[in-house]
């Protein structure tokens, strides 16, 4: 990782012997640019299929609430106790990675449903799903109060 890459990395760590990086800020930058271009009718200049959700703390909470993601009893208890997860902690990386994978599965399911139902392809991408889940979590925060968010202190937010 070079000095320019580091400003966009959320987490860079070794996970089971492999280097893992979450590029939250870079992805948000691209998604925001795409959103502006899309609103102007020019969004098709960027292929958004490679972008994942933004690996934050609020979307995993929504995914747990919606039954898409499930925490182990031990992880849920640690989060309810307010345990601070060290940046790069296996549990933090798993929460973020499983959230990304969950959103990819949702996206693939939506694409399959649209193709079966309408015979057409769907242009929903992971950023659009993230754009839905983040405000959903904020809007339903009272109903989700029993599901803790994970806390990680780091310089990458």
Alpha-carbon distance of 61 to 64, in angstroms, equals: 5
In a domain, 146, yes or no: no
Reported pTM: 0.84
Any domain includes 148:
no
- Does the residue 144 lie in any domain? no
> Is residue 157 in some structural domain?
no
List the domain range (segments joined by +) for residue 70: 5-139
Looking at the domain assignment, is residue 156 inside a domain? no
> With contact defined as beta carbons under 8 Å apart, do 25 and 101 qualify?
no
User: What's the domain count of the chain?
Assistant: 1
Highest-confidence segment of 7-11, 87-91, 141-145: 141-145
Residue 4 pLDDT class (50, 70, 90 cuts): very low
pLDDT digits (tens, 9 = 90+) for 96-118: 999 999 999 999 999 999 999 99
Return d(Cα 86, Cα 142) in angstroms, integer. 27
Q: What is the DSSP string of 3-48?
A: TTGGGG-SEEEEETTEEEEE-HHHHHHHHHHHHHHHHTT-GGGS-G
Q: Provide CB contacts within 8 A for 49, sequence distance 6+.
A: 125
154 pLDDT band, cuts 50/70/90, is confident
154 occurs within a structural domain: no
Would 126 be classed as within a structural domain? Answer: yes
Lowest-confidence segment of 33-37, 40-44, 55-59, 139-143 by average pLDDT: 40-44
Q: Has residue 149 been placed in a domain?
A: no
Q: Above 70 in pLDDT, residue 83?
A: yes
Catalytic residue IDs = 56
Hey, how many other C-beta atoms are within 10 angstroms of the C-beta on 103? 25
């Amino acid at each position: 990782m070079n000095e320019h890459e580091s400003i966009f990395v959320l987490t860079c760590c070794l996970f089971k012997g492999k280097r893992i990086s979450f590029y939250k800020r870079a992805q948000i930058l691209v998604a925001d640019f795409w959103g502006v271009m899309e609103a102007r009718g020019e969004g098709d200049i960027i292929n958004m299929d490679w972008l994942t959700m933004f690996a934050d703390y609020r979307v995993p909470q929504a995914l747990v609430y919606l039954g898409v993601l499930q925490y182990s009893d031990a992880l849920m208890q640690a989060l309810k106790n307010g345990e601070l997860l060290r940046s790069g902690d296996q549990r933090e990386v798993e929460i973020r990675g499983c959230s990304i994978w969950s959103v990819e599965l949702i996206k693939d399911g939506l694409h399959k449903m649209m193709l079966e139902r309408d015979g057409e392809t769907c242009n929903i991408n992971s950023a659009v799903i993230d754009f839905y889940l983040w405000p959903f979590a904020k809007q339903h925060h009272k109903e989700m109060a029993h599901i803790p968010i994970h806390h990680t202190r780091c310089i990458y937010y």
